[in-house]
Structure 1
Amino acid sequence: MIAQTWWLTHRQLKALARQPGVLVITLMQPVVWLFLFGNLFRRVVELPGFGAGSYLDYRVPGIVVMNAVSANMWAGMTTIDEIERGTLDRFLTTPVARGAIMNANVIVAALSTAFQSAVIVLLGWAAGAHYPGGPLGPITLIVLSMVLGTVFTALSNAFGMAVRQRESVIGLSIFLLLPLTFLSSAFMAESLMPGWMRGIAAANPVDWSLEAARGALAESADWSATLVRGGWLLALAAAMVWLSTLTFRGYRRKV
C-alpha cells in the first residue's frame, strides 16, 4: 500500500504544481491577519496579565494555526469534485488499496499546510518576531499545524462524502472557523478570557495546538506540555482519519 499511496500522492502533487497560485491565494488571508489585524491590536499586550512582551511574537502561532484550520476545511470540496468527475469511482474499479486513496489526500494536505506554515513563520521573523527557543520551536509549530490540518482535512473529507454538496462544506467551514479560532488563545491570552470561554478552550483542538506550540517556542521550552497536548491532537487526528475511512467505506457500498 505504501507504493500506491506514493503514486496517488504524486498524482495530486503534480496537479497542485500546475496551479501554484492556489497556495499563494490561500496565504492572503493569514498575511492580512498577521500584519493588519496585528498592528491594529498590537497594544493589547499592555493589558495587565497578558503575559507577552510582543504581540507579533504572540500572534504568529495563532495565524499559523488559524491557517491550518481554514485551508484544510475546504478539502471536502476536492472530494466532491472527484466524485462528480467520476475519478473516485474509476479508482474503485482498480486494484489500488482503498486506504491509499484517503492517505494520499491527507498527505498532500499536510505537505501544503507545512509549506504555508513555514512561509508565515518566515514572514513573522522578517517582520520582527522572535523565536527564543531556537529553530526547534518553529519546526514544532509547523509539525503541529500539519497534525491540526489533518484533523480538519479528514473531517471535511468525511463530511463531503456524506453530504456531497459544496454548499454544505462551505457552510461547515464558515460555521467552524471563527468560533474555533476565537474560542482559543490565538489572539487573546486565556487569563483574560471569561471563565466560560476558558472552559471551551480547554476542549478545543485549536487551543491544544497553540498551547503545545507556545510551550515549544518559549525561551525555556515546556516540552512536557507540548508532548501532552500534541498527543491529544495526534489522537484526534487518528480518530478523524478513521472516521473519513469509515465514511469512504459507506460511499463504496453505495456505488
Structure 2
Amino acid sequence: MKLITDIWWVFIRYLRSIMRSPFIILMTVVQPVLWMFLFGQVFSSMAELPGFGGNSYMDFLGPGIVMMSTMMAGAYAGMGIISDYRDGVLDRFLISPIHRSSLLLGGLLQDALTMTLQALIMIGVAMLLGTQFSGGLSGILLLILIAVVLGLVMGALSMSVGLIVRQEKSLTAAVGFTQLPLLFLSGLFMPLDLVPGWIETAAAFNPLNWAVEAGREVVGTQTDGGLAFQYGSYLLVMFIISCLLVLGAFRVYQRSL
C-alpha cells in the first residue's frame, strides 16, 4: 500500500512539473509533425514503386511518426532526474523512507500520461494529412499502447543515462547521437524490402522498428496479429530490461553518496 502511495505522490510531483512547462510537450510534438508533413510530401510518389505494398505513403508513414513522437519524448525523460540531482532533491529522496522503485514508476506513469496525449495529437494530425487508420478504434488504441510502451522503454533508458552522466548537455548529446540511427535504421520511412540488406539486419534489433512494424499491423486493413504480438513482446522484454537498468543505476548512485 505504501508503494502505491509513494508512486502516486511522485506521479503528482512530476505531473505538476510538466504542467508548469507545457512547452516541453509542444516541442516534442512539433518536430514529428514537421517530419510527417515534409516526408509525406517529398516521398508521396514512393507508393507507386514496385514492391512498396501499399496504396498511400501517408498510410505507411503515419503510424511510424506516432512512434517517433513518443520515442523522442521518452528520450528526454532523464532531464527530470538530472534536474532533481542538481537541486539536491534526488539525494533527499534517496535518504528518505520512500520506495526506490516509486521514483521510477511514478515518473514513468507521468510519462505514460503525456505520451498518450502526444500520440492522440499525432494521430489527429496524421488523419488531417490523409492517413487512413483502417483498423478502427481498437487498432488506434493498440497503436497508442505500443507507442507508449516504446516511449517508456526510451524513458527508462534515458533515466539510466541521466543518473550516470548527471549533466543536461551530456544527455542531450547522447540522445542526439542515438536518435538518427534509430530513425533511419528502421522501416519508418521506407519498406525494409527496398533498403540494403545491412539496414534490414540492423532494423531487426531496433526497438523503434519493432514498434513501427507492430503499429502498422494493428491499424492496417489486413492485420497480422501474430507479427504484432511478436514485436510487442520484444518491446515488453526491452521495457523490463530498461527498468532493471534504471533501478541498478539508482543503487549505484546511492552508493556514491
- TM-score of the aligned structures, taking structure 1 as reference length: 0.96
What residue is the counterpart of 1:25 in the other structure? 27
What residue is the counterpart of 1:179 in the other structure? 181
Q: Can you list the C-alpha shifts for 1:131-187, whole angstroms capped at 9, x where unaligned?
A: 111111121111111111111111111111112122221111111111111111100
> Which amino acid in structure 2 is aligned with residue 99 of structure 1?
S
The CA distance in 1 between the partners of 2:232 and 2:77, in whole Å, is 23
Secondary structure, in 3 states, of the residue corresponding to 2:131?
coil
Secondary structure, in 3 states, of the residue corresponding to 1:203?
coil
What residue is the counterpart of 1:120 in the other structure? 122
The CA distance in 2 between the partners of 1:242 and 1:137, in whole Å, is 30
The CA distance in 2 between the partners of 1:166 and 1:18, in whole Å, is 19
What residue is the counterpart of 1:216 in the other structure? 218
What residue is the counterpart of 2:143 in the other structure? 141
Structure-to-structure mapping, 1:189-200, within 5 angstroms: 189-200=191-202
Structure 1 residue 197, shift from structure 2 partner:
0.8
Where does the alignment leave 5 or more consecutive residues of structure 2 unmatched? none
Match among 28, 36, 46 for residue 48 of structure 2: 46
Structure-to-structure mapping, 1:14-163, within 5 angstroms: 14-163=16-165
> Which amino acid in structure 2 is aligned with residue 91 of structure 1?
F
The CA distance in 2 between the partners of 1:205 and 1:19, in whole Å, is 28
The CA distance in 2 between the partners of 1:125 and 1:8, in whole Å, is 35
The CA distance in 1 between the partners of 2:151 and 2:21, in whole Å, is 20
> Which amino acid in structure 2 is aligned with residue 241 of structure 1?
C
What residue is the counterpart of 1:207 in the other structure? 209
Secondary structure, in 3 states, of the residue corresponding to 2:186?
coil
Secondary structure, in 3 states, of the residue corresponding to 2:133?
coil
> Which amino acid in structure 2 is aligned with residue 173 of structure 1?
V
> Which amino acid in structure 2 is aligned with residue 156 of structure 1?
S
**Contact 2:64 2:188 survives alignment (8 Å):** yes
Structure 1 residue 58, shift from structure 2 partner:
0.8
The CA distance in 2 between the partners of 1:208 and 1:25, in whole Å, is 25
**Contact 2:150 2:211 survives alignment (8 Å):** yes
- TM-score of the aligned structures, taking structure 2 as reference length: 0.96
Secondary structure, in 3 states, of the residue corresponding to 2:136?
coil
Secondary structure, in 3 states, of the residue corresponding to 1:135?
helix
Q: Can you list the C-alpha shifts for 1:216-240, whole angstroms capped at 9, x where unaligned?
A: 1111221111111101100101100
What residue is the counterpart of 1:236 in the other structure? 238
* Comparing 236-245 and 156-165, the one that deviates more: 156-165
> Which amino acid in structure 2 is aligned with residue 12 of structure 1?
Y
Match among 7, 10, 15 for residue 8 of structure 1: 10
> Which amino acid in structure 2 is aligned with residue 152 of structure 1?
M
Instruction: Give the number of aligned pairs.
Output: 255
**Contact 2:81 2:159 survives alignment (8 Å):** yes
Structure 1 residue 50, shift from structure 2 partner:
0.8
